């Protein structure tokens, strides 16, 4: 029906009607404007009133007039003596007031384009010429006066301007408005290619995933993601319908990262290589009845290479690869997250086999709860993600990869088999892995002969792949600051100190403060040197770095995964060596605040020994550092559903004063293994016992440090003097001083 068409296009019809009305109004205004060139006023003639001209005619002072429509130029026999001249040339003086011949005057008027021509005496011409515009009804009276005074009257033809100029002059404002409207709408079209609010709303729920695909051979990869125009896809249909039909993600060239660029985590790489082979050769596995894994969850600390592994899979798989951050699912509108999840997996099913990678999964995969501060929109997004992960057809080769560094807060429904079948732990690399990673990052950097990647791998214990990449870059920057042609070992040492210890701070300190710092750092280094279980000293400095006034840097000779009680006690003794050295050298009354961080570190270590690792005989082998999950907020999911009674119960007290719910006893199996920890750690007696054991362990470590420093007091003095003199000692210099 026609009324349905009008209703569906009501906005366009209303806009068109308003534009047509505006154009008609402007056209009427333009029609009322005079044509260009209608005013014939002379530039030099005196403009006078109609009454003055009539008086001049009656007085016989007018010798000739030239009439052109309603405009009259009159030639006066004698110039006007009145000062009432509006357009006369100021200060001009005529050389002679002699009358001007009417024929000459008329000739000058007719031969001038502007009714004013330069002659031998233009000033005299201006002084003898007046101009008036005849008012309505005054032309007949004026003609009668001219005839009675026998004035020579000449009728000038009306000037005919160019028709094109006339049309342009009348319609120029309308054309200007049209041009401005076109420019305005073109700018809006560029800023918003979808064109309307409905189109923008329809795009909110579309996935923003980036699709990586292998380009044909000989094709240059685009510098920007190429998005296909909806009009080209739909043959000129409206953008809204085009968006609904084609919601394809922007196609980007596959990154140039392969498994050859991944080093140090061979066991993880082997897991992913198998998944890539499954995508390339599914028949190799399907003939044995094996099914493609539904998903793989990469778990690891920040910087261990989870995203790099995903890029390597994209570069090796030779299938479409969709990448999206989990935080891009959720926005301010309700239902957007679930809609984007659906759209992402619809795109993946169209181009299967493919890989979908979701980075930082914990942004939407947190445990669902009934807290008052819960996020319902995020929970809905998670619900939709769970449905999509478990709703795949087994014949569709779509693998979902996700990365997170907080697997402990993920919802359990995400982690079950059938959604993420494989949980791949990406840990920090060992010494061999660090050496391989350094070799990969140093491929494009020139290295000096004194650089040993094996030695650097020993110095960088605990560093991740991102840390090692930053180390190589900082070393290159250090070499550039020194104008070196290659990176030497000193550049790596400086870069390592800058990363681990902080940048140098130019502080001016007194000699007494420098000696206190030297004794403090010497105490750390000397205790570590004489304890076999302690790490080796790599560098000692009294130069302020970061937040520290002095630093002792240690390096482990080998990677450690388990720490004995002897090793932990050695670390506590080394940590307290600085404070003990100050006490022995300057006395208990002159100790300083420089040991604040040392005390914090050793106290935390001693408390973990007591509450986590069962290294206290009095507390025993119990985990006494239990903290209830999400104790900062109400979490109804921490209650076992089976423990909730079907009927109401009341709280009663037994003969000992213990409170419990009457009726059937709730199930306590969930917390049975943690009963001692969760309840005893909150008790006053247990807390006092833990504090006493922590204090005892710290005192034992302090006694170890005191015994070593008392025995080697001469070495402490020599080491402090060397630090004051050189300000910084490396491993070789330190060991030479101790052995000398």
Where in the sequence numbering do the catalytic residues fall?
521
Q: Find the Cα–Cα–Cα–Cα dihedral 86, 88, 93, 96, rounded to 10°.
A: -110
Cα 288 → chain centroid: 47
Query: Is 91 marked as binding a ligand?
Result: no
The overall longest dimension of the chain from CA atoms, in Å, is 142
**Token digits for 546?**
């970061």
Neighbouring-strand partners of residue 212: 252, 321
Whether cis (ω within 30° of 0) applies to the bond prior to 147 is no
List the Cα angle 342/348/351 in 5-degree steps: 145
Inter-residue contact 670 to 600 (CB < 8 Å)? no
Convert 471-533 into a string of H (helix), E (strand) and C (coil). HHHHHHHHHHHCCCCCECHHHHHHHHHHHHCCCECCCCCCHHHHHHHHHHHHHHHHHHHHCCC
Query: Is 304 marked as binding a ligand?
Result: yes
**Token digits for 698?**
């710290």
The closest alpha carbon to 269, from 282, 257, 281, 280, belongs to 257
DSSP letter at 254 equals: P
Query: Is 720 marked as binding a ligand?
Result: no
Query: Is 598 marked as binding a ligand?
Result: yes
The closest alpha carbon to 313, from 285, 267, 355, 350, belongs to 355
Rounded CA-CA distance 392/223 in Å is 34
Query: Is 520 marked as binding a ligand?
Result: yes
Query: Is 300 marked as binding a ligand?
Result: yes
Inter-residue contact 93 to 10 (CB < 8 Å)? no
**Token digits for 435?**
């050496």
**Token digits for 392?**
């795949």
Q: In a 10 Å sphere around its CB, with 0-12 CB exposed, 13-18 middle and 19+ buried, how is residue 448 labelled? A: middle
How far from each other are the two terminal CA atoms of the chain, in whole angstroms? Answer: 105
Sign of the CA dihedral running 535, 541, 544, 549: positive
Q: Which residues are annotated as a binding site for ATP?
A: 300-307
Q: Which residues are annotated as a binding site for Zn(2+)?
A: 520, 524, 598
Q: Which residues are annotated as a binding site?
A: 300-307, 520, 524, 598
């Amino acid at each position: 029906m026609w009324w349905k068409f009008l209703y569906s296009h009501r906005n366009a019809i209303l806009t068109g009607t308003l534009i047509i009305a505006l154009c008609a109004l402007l056209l009427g205004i333009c029609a009322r404007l005079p044509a260009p060139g209608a005013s014939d006023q002379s530039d030099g003639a005196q403009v006078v009133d109609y009454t003055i001209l009539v008086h001049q005619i009656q007085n016989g002072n007018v010798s000739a007039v030239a009439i052109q429509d309603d405009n009259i130029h009159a030639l006066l026999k004698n110039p006007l003596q009145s000062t009432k001249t509006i357009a006369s040339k100021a200060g001009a003086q005529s050389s002679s007031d002699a009358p001007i011949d009417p024929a000459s005057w008329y000739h000058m008027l007719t031969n001038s384009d502007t009714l004013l021509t330069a002659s031998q005496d233009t000033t005299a011409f201006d002084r003898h010429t007046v101009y008036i515009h005849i008012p309505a009804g005054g032309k007949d009276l004026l003609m009668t006066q001219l005839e009675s005074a026998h004035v020579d009257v000449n009728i000038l033809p009306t000037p005919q301007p160019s028709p094109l100029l006339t049309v342009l002059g009348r319609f120029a404002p309308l054309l200007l408005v049209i041009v401005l409207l076109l420019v305005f709408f073109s700018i809006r079209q560029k800023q918003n290619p979808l064109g309307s609010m409905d189109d923008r709303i329809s795009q909110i729920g579309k996935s923003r995933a980036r699709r990586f695909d292998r380009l044909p051979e000989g094709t240059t990869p685009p510098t920007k993601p190429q998005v296909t125009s909806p009009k080209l896809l739909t043959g000129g249909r409206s953008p809204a319908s085009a968006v609904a039909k084609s919601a394809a993600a922007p196609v980007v060239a596959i990154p140039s990262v392969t498994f050859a660029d991944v080093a140090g985590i061979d066991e993880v790489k082997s897991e992913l290589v198998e998944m890539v082979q499954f995508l390339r050769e599914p028949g190799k596995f399907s003939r044995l009845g094996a099914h493609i894994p539904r998903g793989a969850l990469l778990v690891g600390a920040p910087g261990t290479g989870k995203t790099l592994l995903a890029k390597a899979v994209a570069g090796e798989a030779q299938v479409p690869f969709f990448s999206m951050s989990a935080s891009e699912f959720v926005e301010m509108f309700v239902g957007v997250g679930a809609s984007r999840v659906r759209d992402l997996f619809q795109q993946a099913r169209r181009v299967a086999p493919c890989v979908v990678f979701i980075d930082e999964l914990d942004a939407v995969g947190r445990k669902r709860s009934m807290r008052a501060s819960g996020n319902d929109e995020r929970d809905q997004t998670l619900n939709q993600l769970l449905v999509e992960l478990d709703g795949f057809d087994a014949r569709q080769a779509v693998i979902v990869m996700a990365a997170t560094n907080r697997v402990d807060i993920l919802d359990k429904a995400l982690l079950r088999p059938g959604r993420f079948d494989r949980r791949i732990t990406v840990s920090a690399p060992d010494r061999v892995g660090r050496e391989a990673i350094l070799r990969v990052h140093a491929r494009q950097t020139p290295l000096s002969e004194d650089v040993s990647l094996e030695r650097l791998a020993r110095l960088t214990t605990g560093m991740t792949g991102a840390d090692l990449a930053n180390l190589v870059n900082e070393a290159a920057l250090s070499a550039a600051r020194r104008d070196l042609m290659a990176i030497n070992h000193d550049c790596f040492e400086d870069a390592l100190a800058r990363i681990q210890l902080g940048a140098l701070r130019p502080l001016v300190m007194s000699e007494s403060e420098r000696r206190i710092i030297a004794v403090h750092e010497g105490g750390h280094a000397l205790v570590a040197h004489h304890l076999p279980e302690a790490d080796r000293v790599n560098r000692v400095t009294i130069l302020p770095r970061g937040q520290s006034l002095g630093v002792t840097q240690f390096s482990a000779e080998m990677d450690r995964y388990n720490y004995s009680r002897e090793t932990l006690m050695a670390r506590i003794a080394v940590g307290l060596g600085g404070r003990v050295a100050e006490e022995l050298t300057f006395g208990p009354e002159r100790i300083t605040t420089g040991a604040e961080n040392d005390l914090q570190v050793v106290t935390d270590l001693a408390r973990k020994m007591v509450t986590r690792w069962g290294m206290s005989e009095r507390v025993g082998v119990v985990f006494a550092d239990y903290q209830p999950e999400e104790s900062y907020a109400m979490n109804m999911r921490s209650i076992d559903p089976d423990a909730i009674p079907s009927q109401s119960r009341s709280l009663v007290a037994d003969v000992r004063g213990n409170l419990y719910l009457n009726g059937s006893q709730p199930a306590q199996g969930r917390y049975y293994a943690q009963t001692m920890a969760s309840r005893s750690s909150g008790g006053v007696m247990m807390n006092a016992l833990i504090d006493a054991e922590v204090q005892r362990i710290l005192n034992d470590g302090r006694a170890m440090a005191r015994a070593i420093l008392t025995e080697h007091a001469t070495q402490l003095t020599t080491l402090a003097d060397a630090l004051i003199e050189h300000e910084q000692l490396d491993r070789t210099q330190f060991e030479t001083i101790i052995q000398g």
